[in-house]
Chains A and B, each alone.
Chain A
């Protein structure tokens, strides 16, 4: 499917989404509470069949966090970017997509480690790079520690 077709088909299923078509891929911005049902549709609907989660990351925009999921379909060879806004930066949480794509387990561990996003229903959420007793989340814009020399 082309970006245009993807957009039309998604609008038919979910009305609460907004689109951003400035980049190479179609960007779909969805409220974080609707993420899981939306992702399930993308994975299980035959026309979409997004069977490959090739990147999962997070962006700190200071007043909110944005989860970013890059999905690809190996059968249809189309790609989409799903973004979910998390407004609570003090205690950010979102549903895990581990049940849909197993690869999300380690990606979500990484986002938890560096951004502090808590993934609900994740099988084993833990610090994956940093030590267990590390304080804070280094990729947050407001992160500081005693080793850091700020420019």
Chain B
């Protein structure tokens, strides 16, 4: 299945002489819209952030896959890519940023440092050994740092996750 298939509208379109109608599921169409308009938070703590910036810019251009602009405030973002080492002093800041993001929100842990502390696992007093100690993670990307292709792959994997989410159904169940 190529990228083109993923971007196609989920549902059946029935042509009639005076227009047409379509049959789809609400969750499918909402998730289709959500997954193609993810707004990441401009957040980077070290060298992985440099790779992330490459992924944003013209050569890799994640807008092609529906990630659009980076937001400078967590209140407008629904994805946080934790790119780089998180130290003990940064941990409360990361938690606060995550808490400030509106639901539904997603987390990508980019690189070895965010997965386990990576090269700073042993004999360190300052590094958090995996950001899943602080916030829940949706997708892990290994690498030190991961290549932009790997980051894009993780983001497309996240889109798959969003598409399979029963978000609308959950909202109805709550009421």
State the A residues within 8 Å of B (CB).
129-131, 138, 143, 145, 147-151
- Assembled-state Cα–Cα distance A45/B22 (Å): 89
Q: Does B174 belong to the interface (CB within 8 Å)?
A: no
Q: Does B124 belong to the interface (CB within 8 Å)?
A: yes
Q: What is the 8 Å Cβ interface bit string for chain B, positions 79-114, against chain A (1 contact, 0 not)?
A: 000000000110000000000000000000000000
- Assembled-state Cα–Cα distance A151/B124 (Å): 10
A151 CB contact (under 8 Å) in B89, B123, B125, B129: B123
In the assembled complex, which residues on chain B have CB atoms less than 8 Å from the CB atom of A130? 89
A-contacting residues, B124-139, CB 8 Å: 124-126, 129
Contact between B121 and A143, CB atoms less than 8 A apart: no
Contact between B122 and A145, CB atoms less than 8 A apart: no
State the B residues within 8 Å of A (CB).
88-89, 121-126, 129
Query: Given A131-B89, A138-B126, A150-B123, 6 more contacts at CB 8 Å?
Result: A129-B89, A147-B129, A148-B123, A149-B122, A149-B123, A151-B123
Q: How far is the CB of B67 from chain A (nearest CB, A)?
A: 34
In the assembled complex, which residues on chain A have CB atoms less than 8 Å from the CB atom of B126? 138
Q: Which chain B residue shows the least CB distance to A134?
A: B125
Q: How far is the CB of A9 from chain B (nearest CB, A)?
A: 43
Q: How far is the CB of B131 from chain A (nearest CB, A)?
A: 15
In the assembled complex, which residues on chain B have CB atoms less than 8 Å from the CB atom of A138? 125-126
In the assembled complex, which residues on chain B have CB atoms less than 8 Å from the CB atom of A145? 125
In the assembled complex, which residues on chain A have CB atoms less than 8 Å from the CB atom of B89? 129-131
In the assembled complex, which residues on chain A have CB atoms less than 8 Å from the CB atom of B123? 148-151
In the assembled complex, which residues on chain A have CB atoms less than 8 Å from the CB atom of B88? 147
- A selection of 11 A-B contacts at a CB cut-off of 8 Å is A130-B89, A143-B125, A145-B125, A147-B125, A148-B124, A149-B121, A149-B122, A149-B123, A149-B129, A150-B122, A151-B122
